[in-house]
Amino acid sequence: MAAADSPSAALRRRDLCSRGIRLAGKMRADVVDLLDAYVEQQGLDASASVAAMEGVPLAAVERWDEQTGTQRLQENLAAYRAFRALLAQMLEEQREQLGEAEEGLGRALAAVLLQVSAFAYHLEELLRLESRGVPGEEGDAPPPPPRLSLFEQKLRGLGVLRELAQWAVRSVRDLRQLAKPSPAPGAAPGLAESP
Amino acid sequence: MFSRWNWVACGFCLVLNICSPDASAGLVQSCGHIIPESPVLALGSNFTALCILNESCLDFGNIYASQIIWKIKNRLVPKEQYREINRTVSSVTFNDTSSLATPLTCNILADGQIEQNIYGITVTVGLPPEKPKNLSCIVHQKTVLTYVMNCTWDPGRHTFLDTQFRLRYSWPEEIFPDCIPKDVNNSCSINDIQFFVNTEIWVEVTNALGKAESDPLVVDPIDIVKPLSPQNVSVSSEVMPTALKLFWENRISDAVMTLKFNIRYRIAGDTNWMEVPPEDTASPRTSFSVQGLRPYTEYVFSIRCMKEDGLGYWSDWSEEKTGITTEDKPSKGPPLWRIIDTSHSPTSWTVHLIWKALKPFEANGVILQYEVTIRDKSSLSSPVRKYNVTSTNHTLQLPEGTYEVTLIARNSAGASPPSVLLIPASNSKAPVKNLRTLPKHDKLWVGWTAPNSYVLKYVIEWCLVSSSSDCITEWQIAPGDVQGIDLKGIKPFKCYLITVYPLYADGQGSGQSVKAYLKQDRPSKGPTVQTKKVGKAEAVLTWNHLTVEEQNGFIRNYTILYKTIDGNETVVTVDPSKTEYTLSSLTSDTLYTVRMMASTDNGSRTGPDFTFTTQKFGKGEIEAIVVPVCLAFLLIVLLGILFCFNKRDLIKKHIWPIVPDPSKSNIAQWSPQVPAKHNFNSKEQMYPEGSFTDVSVVEIEADDKKSFSEQDLKPFDLLKKEKSTSEGHSSGIGGSSCMSSPRQSVSDSDEGETTQNTSSTVQYSTVVLNGYRDQTPVQVFSRSESTQPLLDSEERSEDHAGGADSAAQRQQYFRQNGGQDETNTDRPCFERTKQITHVNEGDLVGFVQLQISGQSSQPLGLGMEKITQEAALSSVLQTCTEGQTVRPETVEENPLSVDEMPKSYLPQTVRQGGYMPQ
């Protein structure tokens, strides 16, 4: 990686990583809180399992420790852009269902949405620092979700939040990996790290 | 006619324009308008307005731009600011818009100087907005999950215009809604704040004159958080008596931020906070053990937090929580002292052991009891006595000797180190030196110079000196290495007796005492002074010392102030130890007022006034005057007696002269020259000048007195009174026989009153010539009032029989009288005689006649008589003027003519305002 070309770039990168880690941590905490509120608000069972749904990026990945930094950033960016769209749709559906009466849940959803956007911004900045091009958003845009029933919307929302929480954990690990001092050229990628 | 109609129609049109300007585009067409329409102008800029007339009005009303006048409100704009651009347009220019006001009107001055309004505009003047400065933001944590960012800025100057402020913030790819301030223009709060993203914050301000933006503030809101303070703080005791453990809950998750803390604590009741070193609490935690505390002490704790990296703000301090450390054994033994009472028996002491309760930080717990141990050092075999006491004193009887007293305080944690006091047989060791005091605010510092020997500690005793009660002693122990302590609880204006004892390892030094005041004032009253003894020129004053309660300070001196009623005040300063002072050099017989003033360092007070009068005579003065006078008087009397004794024959002859017995008279020899009528008032008539040579005194036997009637005796009663009065006026000292002679004659007359108190009484006059010591012999003149004819021969024989001296005197007397050859020596006696003779008004007539004759009014020198008898003379004069009724003779029965008056001196009456021979 060409990350540490200049001291200022290195500082900027470290700052972005640090801030991203903190943001991902807070995002996870907020999403966890939001999940509780969402389950309660939507009348769902917290232990209900949700099958993988189309359009929701999965945090689980094989050979995570073998990924390069750029690869990690790009996967994260794609995931959070997807979450941003999903959360925006959830927020719209939430307003349609409950109107302005449930401001607390809507405000929490909006806050998480903002955090997702902020994290995506962090990832884009990091990619720029890596001298990697930021992939265009339009091309990665998921296809419009099929029209779902109300219950399916609730379940999908639950699945989105659960997966976002997982992604927050993975993002923290990814950014910590990126924040480590750059290994010597030709060296193998960083060792696996427990989250 | 037509033109007049035309003008009237035009005026009507203008009025319509004025009344309904808004209708200019409607039914009624305006004659003109102003551009710009309602402008907003910057204060201080220049401004030009144009008034444009409609062409139609020009033709209809003959109105042209030259007739336009401009007005601001009702004030005419100077025509210098006008410019006629063409026949329909006029402009007005203002170099400074600050002179503008609303409305600005365009008017026409038509014919006849009638002013008509064409148009008006509203001018708004203000300032463009300034760039907001000093933008700062702080994120307040409201709840566990809620954060509010409040930003403030300096809005700049007042613009006088409607100005909108808005706080804007954004991420690089996200624009957030603006924050519009409500009711204020310098702050705004944002609720939906997101952390961990750098946020750009700035302020936009706009008004009609422009727009401005502040410098952007780029900050991650997490770095400007003021978190909520930790909650649910609790304190628990540790095993160690010097530690307490705090527990709390943080209200911000570690996911948001990690925290560091400040812990402060203080002893309950104290106001000074102590703080745990910040580096000990710089990491996230929810508990902390505070150490280094005092045992058995209640502490108050409080805690606050902030972001661990130091960015942001400290939270408020949490609520205060208290905790008490556990007990520890007392850290030191109680201060111990003793009072030894030997008044009952010198060989057996009553020892009062007294000690002070340990201070809380020394006791380290609740003192359960004190253990007192007494060991007799003079007798090793004596048993050790132990006492358990719960109070702070203990009294016991001990034989005279040397003892070691040990005191231990005990609480639940253990016993204190022992306090040891040696009770010696006598205080024979060296005392402290140079004991002194110095007030320091509300404390009294006592200082001393240590003795040469090593001192373990010092005992300082002090008590409030009172005249009415005993000295209640307080005491304090100071370490042996100090040479001064502050005494607390000392009252101002009170006298304290302070004693310092040095305690050595082997005994006790004798005490040194000093009296001191924390603060002095002037005495509360002045001394009452009085006299102990008053003399002619001195007075001994005494007073009592003021009581110690009245002194209020050290009496530095007394001042005595004394003065006479009209004199200057004299001031005398007296040593304060004295209670008596003698004032000297006083004026005798004078009233003095004296008062006394007592002075301290801080003022004086004067006592009541006291008055006394010095004596007129000094001691022994009266005796020194009276004794010599008496002695002189006695000497004179003695000399007089001796003189009389020597001259007793002569005196006897003159006092008791041999009176010829008329029964033995011989008619043949008696040939009266005048008819025998009873004109006894004027023997000069009977005996014209030169017709007789001598006068004899008739001696009448006392028995004859009884033959007179009471009426006849009355004049003699009066004479007796006069006699006594005259004697009263006599000085008795230095008086000559001349003076006494008339009285003597009265006295003689008294004895022979029968001779002088009847119409048939023969009056005789006797002149006794005598001298006192070396003075010229005094002539005594006596007069007889006898109406009996005297036999010349008998008289002569009697005179001869009386002695040659007497005859010579009488001859001298009559020779002087007859020949008017008076001398000063003779005159006093005569004059004196006249003075004691009292006459009535009738008498005065006679004397006036005498004066006319010019014979008896010849002046006589006063000579010696005037000098020696002045006092007596005045006395006699006084007597006469008081009208006493001594009338030895009456002259009014037969007043004499001038020709009949004898050429001799007659006794005259001296009365006030009357004639007095000179």
List, for residues B540-576, the tens digit of each pLDDT value: 999 998 898 899 999 999 999 999 888 888 899 999 9
CATH no., domain B32-126: 2.60.40.10
The reply to whether B146 touches chain A by the CB within 8 Å rule is no
Enter the tokens of residue A147.
């029209």
Q: Does residue B896 surpass a pLDDT of 70?
A: no
Q: Do A121 and B194 touch (CB under 8 A)?
A: no
Rounded to the nearest angstrom, the minimum Cα separation between A188 and chain B is 31
What pLDDT score was predicted for residue B666?
A: 67
Q: Does residue B631 surpass a pLDDT of 70?
A: yes
Could you tell me the pLDDT band of residue A141, with boundaries at 50, 70 and 90?
A: low
Tens digits of residue pLDDT in B198-227: 889 999 999 999 999 999 999 989 999 999
Residue with tokens 């020597």: B646
Question: Half-sphere exposure of B2 toward its Cβ, with a 13 Å CA cutoff?
Answer: 1
How large a percentage of chain B has pLDDT more than 90? 35
Q: Do B196 and A23 touch (CB under 8 A)?
A: yes
What pLDDT score was predicted for residue A16?
A: 87
The reply to whether B471 touches chain A by the CB within 8 Å rule is no
CATH number for domain B529-614, candidates 2.30.40.10, 2.60.40.10, 3.40.50.300, 3.90.1150.10 = 2.60.40.10
What pLDDT score was predicted for residue B193?
A: 83
What DSSP string runs through B145-208? S-EEEEEEEE--S--SS--EEEEEEEETTEEPPPB--SS-SSEEEESS--SSS-EEEEEEEEET
What are residue B64's phi and psi, to 5 degrees? Answer: -130, 165
Report how far residue A43's alpha carbon sits from residue A35's, in angstroms, rounded to the nearest whole number.
Answer: 12
What pLDDT score was predicted for residue A153?
A: 84
The reply to whether B311 touches chain A by the CB within 8 Å rule is no
Report how far residue B699's alpha carbon sits from residue B762's, in angstroms, rounded to the nearest whole number.
Answer: 10
Q: Do B174 and A25 touch (CB under 8 A)?
A: no
What pLDDT score was predicted for residue B333?
A: 92
Q: Does residue B694 surpass a pLDDT of 70?
A: no
A95 class by beta-carbon count within 10 Å (0-12 exposed, 13-18 middle, 19+ buried): middle
Q: Does residue B848 surpass a pLDDT of 60?
A: no
Report how far residue B596's alpha carbon sits from residue B145's, in angstroms, rounded to the nearest whole number.
Answer: 85
Architecture of the domain defined by B336-517: Sandwich (2.60)
**Which of A29, A110, A118 lies at the smallest CB-CB distance from B253?**
A29
What pLDDT score was predicted for residue A183?
A: 55
Report how far residue B336's alpha carbon sits from residue B419's, in angstroms, rounded to the nearest whole number.
Answer: 7
Could you tell me the pLDDT band of residue A31, with boundaries at 50, 70 and 90?
A: very high
What pLDDT score was predicted for residue A143?
A: 61
Q: Do A118 and B255 touch (CB under 8 A)?
A: no
Q: Do B196 and A33 touch (CB under 8 A)?
A: no
Q: Does residue B382 surpass a pLDDT of 60?
A: yes
Higher pLDDT, B28 or B157: B157
Q: Does residue B43 surpass a pLDDT of 70?
A: yes
Q: Do B255 and A121 touch (CB under 8 A)?
A: no
Q: Does residue B838 surpass a pLDDT of 50?
A: no
Q: Does residue B419 surpass a pLDDT of 50?
A: yes
Residue with tokens 């359009």: A55
Q: Does residue B403 surpass a pLDDT of 70?
A: yes
**Which of B171, B192, B220 lies at the smallest CB-CB distance from A121?**
B171
* Mean pLDDT computed over every residue of chain A: 79
What pLDDT score was predicted for residue B762?
A: 45
Of A22, A84, A87, which to mutate for an interface test with B (greatest number of B Cβ within 10 Å)? A22
Q: Do B192 and A28 touch (CB under 8 A)?
A: no
What pLDDT score was predicted for residue B725?
A: 42
Contacts of A94 (CB under 8 A, 6+ apart): A102, A105, A106, A109, A157
What pLDDT score was predicted for residue A96?
A: 79
B879: closest CA among B723, B717, B734?
B723
Mean pLDDT check: name the lowest of B325-329, B534-538, B680-684, B821-825. B821-825
Contact B516, B496 (CB under 8 A): yes
Could you tell me the pLDDT band of residue A102, with boundaries at 50, 70 and 90?
A: low
Contact B610, B561 (CB under 8 A): no
Contacts of B309 (CB under 8 A, 6+ apart): none
What pLDDT score was predicted for residue B292?
A: 92
How large a percentage of chain B has pLDDT more than 70? 68
Residue with tokens 């030895």: B888
Mean pLDDT check: name the lowest of A60-69, B309-318, B454-463, B694-703. B694-703
Q: Do B195 and A26 touch (CB under 8 A)?
A: yes
For domain B227-325, the CATH class is: mainly beta
What pLDDT score was predicted for residue B669?
A: 54
A35: closest CA among A135, A157, A147?
A157
Report how far residue B823's alpha carbon sits from residue B827's, in angstroms, rounded to the nearest whole number.
Answer: 6
Q: What is the DSSP letter of B429?
A: B
Could you tell me the pLDDT band of residue B516, with boundaries at 50, 70 and 90?
A: very high
B713: closest CA among B784, B661, B761, B782?
B761
- Most confident of the following: B192-206, B287-301, B465-479, B673-687: B287-301
* Over residues A101-127, mean pLDDT: 85
Could you tell me the pLDDT band of residue A135, with boundaries at 50, 70 and 90?
A: confident
Q: Does residue B192 surpass a pLDDT of 70?
A: yes
CATH number for domain A11-47+78-132, candidates 3.40.605.10, 1.10.20.140, 3.30.70.20, 1.20.1250.10 = 1.20.1250.10
CA dihedral angle for residue B94, residue B97, residue B101, residue B103, rounded to 10 degrees: 60
β-partners of residue B455 are: none
Chain A residues touching B194 at Cβ < 8 A: 111, 114-115, 118
Could you tell me the pLDDT band of residue B663, with boundaries at 50, 70 and 90?
A: confident
Q: Does residue B728 surpass a pLDDT of 60?
A: no
**Would you identify the CATH topology of the domain B133-219?**
Immunoglobulin-like (2.60.40)
**Which of B172, B173, B196 lies at the smallest CB-CB distance from A22?**
B196
* Mean pLDDT computed over every residue of chain B: 75
Could you tell me the pLDDT band of residue B137, with boundaries at 50, 70 and 90?
A: very high
Tens digits of residue pLDDT in B75-110: 888 888 888 888 888 899 888 888 788 888 988 877
Report how far residue B30's alpha carbon sits from residue B117's, in angstroms, rounded to the nearest whole number.
Answer: 11
Higher pLDDT, B848 or B560: B560
Report how far residue A126's alpha carbon sits from residue A72's, in angstroms, rounded to the nearest whole number.
Answer: 11
Give start-end residues of each CATH 2.60.40.10 domain in chain B.
Answer: 32-126, 133-219, 227-325, 336-517, 529-614
What pLDDT score was predicted for residue B757?
A: 44
Chain B residues touching A26 at Cβ < 8 A: 195-196, 253, 255-256
Q: Does residue B878 surpass a pLDDT of 50?
A: no
What pLDDT score was predicted for residue B78?
A: 87
Q: What is the DSSP letter of B113?
A: G
Question: Half-sphere exposure of A140 toward its Cβ, with a 13 Å CA cutoff?
Answer: 18
Rounded to the nearest angstrom, the minimum Cα separation between B144 and chain A is 11
Could you tell me the pLDDT band of residue B670, with boundaries at 50, 70 and 90?
A: low
Higher pLDDT, B687 or B411: B411
Chain A residue at shortest CA distance from B173: A121
Buried b / exposed e over B159-181, threshold 16 CB at 10 Å, is bebebebebbbebeeeebeebeb
Higher pLDDT, B19 or B122: B122
What pLDDT score was predicted for residue A103?
A: 72
Other Cβ atoms less than 10 A from the Cβ of B92: the count is 23
Q: Does residue B869 surpass a pLDDT of 50?
A: no
